[in-house]
Amino acid sequence: MFSLESVIASDSFVRVVDAFVEAIDLKSFGFAHVECQEEGRPPYHPSVLMKLYLYGYRYGIRTSRKLERETQTNIEAMWLLSGLRPKYKTIADFRKHHSKAFREVFRRFVCLLKEWDLIEGETVAIDSFKIRGSNSLKNNFNDKKLKRHLAYIDAQISEYESMLDSCGQEEDKRVMQQKIEERKEKQSKYEHIQKELEASGEEQISLTDPDSRAVILLRNIVNVGYNIQAPSTKDIGLYPISMFKYDKDKDTYICPQGSIMTTNGRWYRHSESRRRKSGSYQFQRYTTADCKTCENRHLCTQSKANGRVIDRSEYADITEANAKRVNENPEYYRQRQQITEHMFGTLKRQRGFTHVLVRGKEKVLGEVGLMFIGYNLTRCISILGTEKLIKALRECCLCIFKPKYWLILSPNNEFYYFSQKIAA
């Protein structure tokens, strides 16, 4: 005789997953097949697949085929699913069709953690989250890359046409003509992509996953994926912007050599040269004619034709006020490392969350929600203990209709998670 219940430890993570999903009012979050008709073969209940995903993501098992195998070989997964064995296609479709529901469950769980006083909600720390997407670099294009491809193809076509004119045998002419047609077909493809890029108004275009973008992951290694933080510029040994003092009353800058830098009052956009107008910010440009005769020009700019230029954003006052708060409270700022950096290290190194398995921003955020739910459950176990957490989950009902706490999170606060407060 063999009992699955007897081999699952009382403090196992799989028991927490079971209690968590059972506490969710799945219908209120928009999960399909919560209630079924009497006719026909019943589909798998969403709670079964939700449990499987939360359990798998906790241990870095994310692909549908690997999850299918877990249902057949893993004793904890067998206990969690009551012996059910959904096929990989069913598992994959569940993730594809419920990305929004995953995000809503994650949000509501954060609100529940605030109800339990595990989140104060007064300090929000921000860190970068760069992750590879389901789009290869060769299927990502910008204007410069397209022009380079088209120029190379034009040179090949010209070369083959010259060889065609000098060919004496019909077989050689046929081969050259075939190569020219192949190059023209590629040329047409790139021209079509170029038109799509121009019509979109974006700086780059991805063919497989349109929402993904080329990002620098580490040490100038470029991959196509998702990023929520802009990089810092490289130090090239010139005077930094911090050495230029801004006079708010006169609306001028004073350079390190004492020259006054003024603006013509015109507002520019950084994206004008890149065709994109929406989403960019405005700035004013400050210059001085003293650059032409300055002896220390080589310490300030590498430009031979023009002097040093300072661009002041329309949001400069806000960013400067924030920088002042950070500089005045260095100890408070150091909490950011304690709150956020260890979490991303855990997700990437321990749980293998270095790439996404879905395409499109909405589905990617859904997968991020699944990963963060598992992380928060793990933190709850560390703080409350397994038995106390399971008891608390069984006494509550997670549903989407909680207006008292729903206003805590804004619609754009996708990456808000609980971290450090310990319950009494």
The single-letter code of the amino acid at 230 is A
- pLDDT of amino acid 280: 64
- Where do the structural domains in the chain lie, given as residue ranges? 4-130+359-406, 137-206, 241-331
Residues in the chain: 424
- H or E element that contains 385: none
Q: What DSSP string runs through 246-281? A: EETTTTEEE-TTS-EEEE-S--EETTGGGT--TT--
Place of tokens 């769980």: 109
Q: Are residues 8 and 15 in contact, defined by beta-carbon separation less than 8 angstroms?
A: yes
pLDDT tens across the length of the chain (424 residues): 678 899 999 999 999 999 999 999 999 999 988 887 777 778 899 999 999 999 999 999 999 999 999 999 999 999 999 999 999 999 999 999 999 999 999 999 988 998 898 887 777 777 777 888 999 999 999 999 999 999 999 999 999 888 888 877 888 888 889 999 999 999 999 999 999 999 988 889 999 999 998 887 766 788 898 864 433 744 566 888 889 999 999 999 999 999 999 999 999 886 544 444 445 678 999 999 999 889 888 888 887 777 899 999 999 999 888 888 888 888 877 777 777 778 888 888 889 898 999 999 899 999 999 999 999 999 999 999 999 999 999 988 777 644 333 323 333 333 333 333 322 2
Of 395, 396, 359, residue with least CA distance to 136: 359
- pLDDT of amino acid 304: 72
What angle do helix axes 88-97 and 46-58 make, rounded to 10 degrees?
90
- pLDDT of amino acid 400: 60
- Phi/psi for 194 (5° steps) reads -65, -40
- H or E element that contains 341: none
Q: What is the DSSP letter of 401?
A: -
Q: How many helices (H) and strands (E) does the chain have?
A: 16, 11
Tokens of 369: 């929600």
